[in-house]
Chain A
C-alpha cells in the first residue's frame, strides 16, 4: 500500500516528465531532489499535469490551489479506488490508459521478492509516474522493507561514489550504455536492474565486466506489468509464476492465474516449455527511445503536414547510427534543405522531444531497391 509521501513522489515525477518531454525544460527530468516544482510550473504545463494526475489516480479532473491539496486529493482517491493508472501515447498521440489494482501490484511484488533477497537498498534512476519506476522505486522498497534513494540518470561522479554493497541500481538500457561509455566501475556487491526495452547482449556483458555482482532484466509493459525476468545475455526470460500462458493462438496469450482474462503480449514472442519467452518484435509499430514509447508513423504524419514536404519516411536509427528517429524528406518544388530549421521548429510545436528526428536526409524520391521495395537510407 502506498503512503502519502509516495503519492507526492509520483506527482512530482509527473511534473518533471511533462516539463522535459515538452522541451519546456529538458533538464527537469534530472531534478530529482526538488519537491517544490508545482509552484514554478507554467500555466499550460500545470493544466496538463492536472489532467494526467486525474487519470493516474482516477478522479474527475479539477484544479487545486496548492500542491498539498492536490496530493491530499490524489491520496484519498488512491485509498478509495485501490488502484493506479499509467498511460502511454498511442499512434495518434492520445493517452492509452492501463489500470493496475493494488492486488495486482501486490501479486507482482510477492513474485519478485525472491529475486532480490540480497538487496539492502534500491538506488532508482527511473521516474515513478511510469510503471517500471512505480514498481521498483515505490512498491518493491515497501515489499522488501528497504530504503530507496532516487538519483538522476546522469553519469555523475557523486552517485558512483555513493553506491555501496547490497545496492540494486534500477536503470534502463540507454543509461547503462552511457554508463559503460564513461568507463565506470561498480563497487563490490552492487546489482543492476534494467527494463523498458531489451538490453543488448553487449551492454549486459559490459555491466558484468564493469563489476556488477548480478544483472537482472525485467520483461513487461505498461499494459501487462511485470511478466518475466532473466539474468544473463543471450537467454530467454523466465515467466513469473503468477502468469498462465496459452499457446493455442498464433501469438502467446497470458492471464493472471486467478483472473479469467487472456491478454496478448505487446510483442511477438517465442515461447519454450510454457515458462520461458523471448520477445522478437513489437506487435504495433512503436519503438523505444530512452525507454519512452514512440511511433515513427505519428512523426511521419506530422512531418508530411508541413507545406515544404512532398513525401517523407521516418524510422528508428540503426544501432550504429544512434538512439533516435531519422527522417528522409522529398521537398516540394521551391523549397531547399535550408528549410530544416523551420521544419524542426514546426515539429517541436507538435511532438515531444523524443518524437522529433535527429537526422534529416533530403532526396528527390523515397529510396527504393531495383525491385521497387523501399530501402533504408
Chain B
C-alpha cells in the first residue's frame, strides 16, 4: 500500500492548493476532510473527483462511495486500487 499512498500524496500536493501545509506530515490514517487532519473542504472534494478521473479514470458512482473512500489516504488508496482503469 505504501507506493500508492506516496503517489496519492504527490497527486494531492500537485493538484490541490494545500495552503502551504506539508502533506508529507499527513499520516495514512489522518482524516482528509476535517480540521484534525488535512482540512480539505467541499471545493477540494470537487477537485479530488476530477483528479481521480484524470489520473486513474475513476468516477464516483455515489456519494456513499465518496464518503467511504475520501476518509483518509488508506481508504482512498483502496478505492483507487480497486477501481482504476489506468
Q: Does B46 contact A (CB under 8 A)?
A: yes
Residue of A33, A155, A354 most packed against chain B (CB within 10 A): A155
Q: Does A1 contact B (CB under 8 A)?
A: no
Given contacts A27-B67, A348-B39, contact A359 B46 (CB under 8 A): no
CA distance A174 to B47 in the complex (A): 11
Q: B47 to chain A: closest CB distance in Å?
A: 8
Summed over the interface, the residue pairs from A and B with CB atoms below 8 Å come to a total of 110
The answer to whether A182 and B53 have CB atoms under 8 Å apart is: yes
Residue ID in chain A nearest B33 by CB atoms? A26
Q: B75 to chain A: closest CB distance in Å?
A: 12
Q: A81 to chain B: closest CB distance in Å?
A: 32
Q: How many of B's residues come within 8 Å of A, CB to CB?
A: 29
Q: Contacts of A358 on B, CB cut-off 8 Å? A: 17-19
Q: Does B60 contact A (CB under 8 A)?
A: yes
The answer to whether B59 and A156 have CB atoms under 8 Å apart is: yes
Q: Does A242 contact B (CB under 8 A)?
A: no
Residue ID in chain B nearest A290 by CB atoms? B43
Q: Contacts of B20 on A, CB cut-off 8 Å? A: 337, 340-341, 344, 359-360
Q: A267 to chain B: closest CB distance in Å?
A: 23
Q: Does B40 contact A (CB under 8 A)?
A: yes
Q: Which residues 1-56 of B sit at the A interface, judged by CB distance below 8 A? A: 17-22, 33-35, 39-47, 49-50, 53
Q: Does A356 contact B (CB under 8 A)?
A: yes
Q: B24 to chain A: closest CB distance in Å?
A: 12
**B residues at A contact (CB < 8 Å):** 17-22, 33-35, 39-47, 49-50, 53, 59-63, 66-67, 70
12 further A-B contacts with Cβ under 8 Å, apart from A156-B49, A178-B49, A353-B39, are A23-B35, A27-B66, A30-B45, A32-B63, A154-B60, A156-B62, A157-B59, A157-B61, A175-B46, A323-B43, A340-B21, A356-B19
Pairs across A and B, CB under 8 Å, 7 listed: A20-B41, A27-B42, A27-B66, A30-B66, A182-B49, A340-B19, A360-B19
Instruction: In the A-B complex, list the 3 residue pairs whose CB atoms are closest, starting with the nearest.
Output: A23-B35, A157-B59, A26-B33
